[in-house]
Amino acid sequence: MHRAVFFDRDDTLIKNIPYLKNEELIEVPPGIREYMSRLKKAGFLLFIVSNQSGVARGLLTPTDVAKVNRILLEKLGRTFFEKIYLSFEGPSQEINWDRKPQPTMLWTAAQEYNLDLKKSFFIGDRLADVLCGRNGGCKTIFIDWGRKDLDAFISRKLATFIAGSLFEAIEMILAPLNR
């Protein structure tokens, strides 16, 4: 079985621009490929797990999302990532089947790639990420951008680890004691 690192997309890998369509606005942190390379060398499979409710809201099409993600992967290093899992559901839907914090996308990944979720990590900046990771049985790293809202408050309580940046989160995963 493989270990995985699941990344949230918006405000984790890239700055969140709500309902992002314009791929020219995508900016990844300089030097990020080096970190992805180190995770791969440590034996992790890498995934992106993203809620894109703009589709349910009619503000984005799946094609818009795919176009942005294609450019994103180019910038991050396409070969480092196995797959991007997306939920297009909106929060006001009566039942959410795959939208984070449901662990559905993690379960799908676990099945498709033979993952050991208990030895895997979820990195994200929202409570939905921390809960999704927890619900799937992963260790969770909350990227704390210093928000003062309830979402951030509960995330700090529930996450396995708290990091001040994406790179700090990745260093925590690479630290042998945390694995």
Which ranges constitute the DSSP H helices of 29-125?
Answer: 32-41, 62-76, 104-113
Shortest reach from residue 114's CB to Mg ion, in Å: 27
User: Rule CB under 5 A: is residue 125 a binding residue for Mg ion?
Assistant: yes
User: Rule CB under 5 A: is residue 98 a binding residue for Mg ion?
Assistant: no
Spatial distance between the Cα atoms of 176 and 95, rounded to a whole number of angstroms: 39
User: Rule CB under 5 A: is residue 168 a binding residue for Mg ion?
Assistant: no
Q: Which CB sits closer to Mg ion, 89 or 125?
A: 125
Identify the bridge partners of residue 59 per DSSP, sorted by sequence position.
none
Shortest reach from residue 16's CB to Mg ion, in Å: 6
User: Rule CB under 5 A: is residue 48 a binding residue for Mg ion?
Assistant: no
Work out which of 5, 6, 8, 44 binds Mg ion, going by CB under 5 A.
8
Shortest reach from residue 31's CB to Mg ion, in Å: 20
Strands (E), the chain: 3-7, 44-51, 81-87, 121-124, 139-143, 161-163
**Spatial contact of 122 and 128, defined as CB atoms under 8 Å apart:** no
- What residues from 9 to 28 belong to the interface with Mg ion (CB under 5 A)? 10-11
User: Rule CB under 5 A: is residue 144 a binding residue for Mg ion?
Assistant: no
Spatial distance between the Cα atoms of 21 and 97, rounded to a whole number of angstroms: 25
Pick from 42, 114, 48: nearest CA to 78:
48
Backbone angles phi and psi of 113, in degrees to 5:
-120, 10
Shortest reach from residue 75's CB to Mg ion, in Å: 17
Stretch in the footprint of Mg ion (CB under 5 A) among 24-32, 66-74, 75-83, 117-125: 117-125
The residues binding Mg ion (CB under 5 A) are 8, 10-11, 125-126
